[in-house]
Amino acid sequence: MAPSATTPVPKDSNALSFLGPVPRKMFENPPRILIIGAGSRGNAYAQGTLDSTNGIIAAVAEPVAYKRREFGRKFIWGDDEGGEGKREGLEFVDWRDWVEYETSRRAAARTGSPVPPGIDAVFICVLDEMHEQVLVGIAPLNVHICCEKPLSTSLEKCINIYKALSAVPGGGKEGRDKIFGICHVLRYSPFTMLLRQLVVEEGVVGDVLSVEHVEPVGWWHYSHSYVRGNWRNHSTTAPSLLTKSCHDIDFLLWLLCTPGGASHAHKSTPPHLPSSITSTGSRTFFTKQRKPAQAGPATNCLSCPHEQECIYSARKIYKERHLDKGVTGWPVNVVTPEIEEIYRDLGGDAAGEKLLRDLAEDYTEESDVGEVESRGWYGRCVWESDNDVCDDQHVTIQWDAEEGGGGGGGRTAKTAQFHMVAFTQNICARRGRIYGSLAEIEYDADTIRVHDFRSGQTTVHSPHVEKGGHGGGDTGLARQFLLAVDAVEHGGVEAGDAQRRFLGCDLDEVLRSHAAVFAAEEARVGRKVVEWATWWGERVESRLR
């Protein structure tokens, strides 16, 4: 792209609202929040809640004692070490313990007995494969829920969740009266909100004709999460298109399916649904056939003769690249959850020794299969792991023109091409291009460039980057979810309207974007083109009747 001129954002553009920080929301009645799962995502949404609102992190459910204690120290009871006897209602080993506690608390309240305050909203941040049991288990309590992506690990489980969350406690027909959010945090970063504002609300490109969107996973990040980590095998979790890139499929459908403006808020304009989906991809690199000959029979980095020459050396990635530079958070605390405490109390040498001991852990052919599958093995040779998920995948989504397309008032035919690739310098810094009838947009992690065909000018937008992960998306999601909760609880707004106004998404849209991922995977495995309307009718709609 060679613009003849470059201009700043026009002063009358709605995009200006994305260029500065959003004031912290101070609720008159701050919502009380339970976090289920005190790992990195639970910590992210707790921090996002406190950074963006005066919401109260009131309780945590987490089976690992260290994680539960550290989470409570950071967000709930501070440095008070008064013991668990003082923490009734504040911490739970299992989410079922909270359900039992809350059920008893409500029963006592109905008799007029004095009870502590309850929970208004729940963030679910457990492992993906646990989402179904937790969501279905707490749905009868009728609390506001925000669930980490993906919704679940199979289409059947997603449909079961949809049914459970669509059911009204007591069997009424008036519709669910609580908010449900999914942590598709790309929707809530200032960057992607501005991008959609420009394309959908302001129509700066005219009719969208084609989109190219890339997710660069990052070479060592991929080895951490999808070769050695929890998401390495689709039989125990799910395909990488779901566990990593359901964000991106959702982003494309949000950009290209979902109408903008007030009409969408009231659902008077139906979405423009795809006509077909296809996909190609495979595990191309992390295979035993590619193992360097110098590594010999070694299965763990710390006992491998090739380790010093290998860029995927666990010692290099976790200790030299991170811990030795003072980084005790992700990804190091995934390997050694208590690393921050050790580093703080005993120093870097002690932390390094513990990290190396954990990296030295390995499994053999005689190891218990259940144990091997249930955890990450972060010192494992990347060519000797049990991974089988794609490290390079393309998805193509096509839309047919609607009646009266283009100048006739309908919606035009268009194509979206998505590429998930592991072998990149950048980590999750999305980039892409949007080709329209009036302009072309080029975007990366920092800027959006709009080249107008009529004027020959290029307008450059640099959105404000909020605190927190995903370009501020974690913080933005926490804020918008709690704004919706407050609107229902204290603003007299119906749940459906609050969903649309503050989250811009409802349960139907959540199910649809996940279904598109499963359709793409079916297309990839079957080497075929999936016709969306037929597939949806047979695989989804028939199960909802």
pLDDT tens readout for residues 146-192: 999 999 999 999 999 999 999 755 444 445 689 999 999 999 998 99
Same structural domain for residues 314 and 266?
no
User: Alpha-carbon torsion 227, 233, 516, 399, what sign?
Assistant: positive
Residue 402 has a pLDDT of: 86
The yes-or-no verdict on residue 507 having pLDDT over 80 is: yes
Same structural domain for residues 144 and 220?
no
Cα-based angle 44, 48, 50 (whole degrees, multiple of 5): 120
User: How far is the C-alpha of 30 from the C-alpha of 49, rounded, in Å?
Assistant: 11
Same structural domain for residues 260 and 301?
no
Same structural domain for residues 81 and 178?
yes
pTM of the model: 0.92
In a domain, 483, yes or no: no
The yes-or-no verdict on residue 465 having pLDDT over 90 is: no
Same structural domain for residues 215 and 270?
yes
Full 3-state SS string of 367-409: CCHHHHHCCCCCCECCCCCCCCCCCEEEEEEEECCCCCCHHHC
Q: Number of structural domains, the chain?
A: 3
Residue 19 has a pLDDT of: 57
In a domain, 427, yes or no: yes
Residue 403 has a pLDDT of: 75
In a domain, 197, yes or no: no
User: How far is the C-alpha of 64 from the C-alpha of 67, rounded, in Å?
Assistant: 5
Query: Range of 321's domain?
Result: 288-373
The yes-or-no verdict on residue 407 having pLDDT over 90 is: no
Same structural domain for residues 39 and 122?
yes
Residue 165 has a pLDDT of: 93
Same structural domain for residues 281 and 295?
no
The yes-or-no verdict on residue 5 having pLDDT over 50 is: no
Same structural domain for residues 44 and 135?
yes
Domain stops at, among 182, 197, 230: 182
Weakest mean pLDDT among 83-92, 258-267, 332-341, 460-469: 258-267
Same structural domain for residues 143 and 100?
yes
Same structural domain for residues 111 and 223?
no
- Average pLDDT of the residues in 84-97: 86
* CATH code (residue 414): 3.30.360
User: Residues 66, 342: contact at Cβ < 8 Å?
Assistant: no
User: What's the mean per-residue pLDDT of the chain?
Assistant: 91
Confidence of residue 84 (pLDDT cuts 50, 70, 90): low
In a domain, 8, yes or no: no
Same structural domain for residues 161 and 226?
no
- Average pLDDT of the residues in 273-283: 97
* CATH code (residue 113): 3.40.50.720
Same structural domain for residues 251 and 399?
yes
Task: Give 518-527 pLDDT, tens digit per residue.
Answer: 999 999 999 9
